[in-house]
Copies of this chain bind each other. A is one copy, B any other.
Amino acid sequence: MTRNELIHQIKTKRSFLCVGLDTDIDKIPQHLLDHEDPVFEFNRQIIAATADLCVAYKPNIAFYESRGVAGWKSLQKTWAALPKDCLSIADAKRGDIGNTSKMYAKAFFEQQTSGLGFDAITIAPYMGHDSVKPFLEFSGKWGIVLALTSNAGGLDFQVGRDVNGQQLFEQVIRQTNTWGDVTNLMYVVGATRGEAFATIRKHAPNHFLLVPGVGAQGGSLSEVCKYGMNTDCGLLVNATRSIIYASKGTDFAEKAREEALALQQQMEHELLEKGIIS
C-alpha cells in the first residue's frame, strides 16, 4: 500500500485506527476452542467486526511464533483474511546483519516463499544501517523503525543523550531517515510519550508514526494528536487489548466493535478539528 493510498483510506474511513491482533490462545473466549484453529477464528471475527472502522491491522508475531508450526499457520490464514484496503503490519521487531535482514524481509513480504505478504514490518534499529536497509528495498512495502517505545524499558537506552545533547531516539530518526523516505519508512512512537512527539516532529515532520500505547497502556489520544498529527494525519494509532479483549464472552466481536467505534469517533473528531476531513 502506497502513502497516497493510506492517506486516502484515512480520509475515507475517517479513522487512523490500527487494530492489534496479539491473539493469545489462553485469553480468547472458551467457546472458540472447539474450532479447528481457534486463534484464526477469533481473528476472523474481530476483523469482520472492525474492518470498516480501522485502516490497519497489526498482528504481533510473538503470539503466533510461541505456538510453533500451528501458530505460523494461524498467522498465514490471518494475513490472508486481512482486507486489502487496510495496511497489514507484521509487528516483528526484526533486525540482523544485511544478508539475514534480507531473509526476514522475505519472511514477511514475499508470499511465494513464506506464505506471508505483509505491507509493513517493525524493525529494531540497534544494529544500524545494514540491518535496516534490506527492509526498505521492497517496492510498495514499509519499514517501521522503533524510535521511542511505549514500555517502561523505553527509558533505559532510548532517551540517553549523546555528547551533542541528542537523545538516542533522535539519533535513530535522523540517521534512518537518510536510508528511506516518507514513502517507505515510518517510526514507532509510544502514545505514553506525549510531550516527545514535538521533538519527533522536528526530525520527521512528514513521516507516518505508528503509535501503540493507547488503551490498556494508558496513552492519551488527544495528546498524541496535539503534538503528533501533521497535515496528512501522519498517525496510525494502535489499540490491542482494549479492543480484542473487550469481552471474554460470545459477544467478544460485538464488544470489540464498540471499542473500535469509540476510538474511530474520537479520531474523526480530531481529523475534523485539524481540517484534514470535512
CA of A155 to CA of B131, assembled, Å: 12
A114-160 contacts to B, CB under 8 A, are 114-116, 124-132, 146, 149-158, 160
Give the segment of A99-107, A248-256, A257-265 that binds chain B: A99-107
What's the nearest-Cβ distance from chain B to residue A143, in Å? Answer: 14
- Residue pair A68, B113 in contact (C-beta under 8 Å): yes
CA of A223 to CA of B264, assembled, Å: 58
Contacts of A67 in B (CB 8 A): 107, 113-114
What's the nearest-Cβ distance from chain B to residue A138, in Å? Answer: 13
Cross-chain contact of A131 among B113, B151, B162 (Cβ < 8 A): B151
Cross-chain contact of A124 among B124, B155, B160 (Cβ < 8 A): B124
- Residue pair A114, B68 in contact (C-beta under 8 Å): yes
Contacts of A154 in B (CB 8 A): 127-128
- Residue pair B130, A153 in contact (C-beta under 8 Å): yes
Residue with the highest number of chain B CB atoms closer than 10 Å, among A106, A156, A161, A172: A156
A93 in the interface, Cβ–Cβ < 8 Å? yes
A198 in the interface, Cβ–Cβ < 8 Å? no
- Residue pair A107, B153 in contact (C-beta under 8 Å): no
Contacts of A9 in B (CB 8 A): none
Q: Nearest 9 A-B pairs (CB), nearest first? A: A128-B153, A128-B156, A62-B103, A68-B114, A68-B115, A65-B107, A97-B151, A129-B153, A66-B107
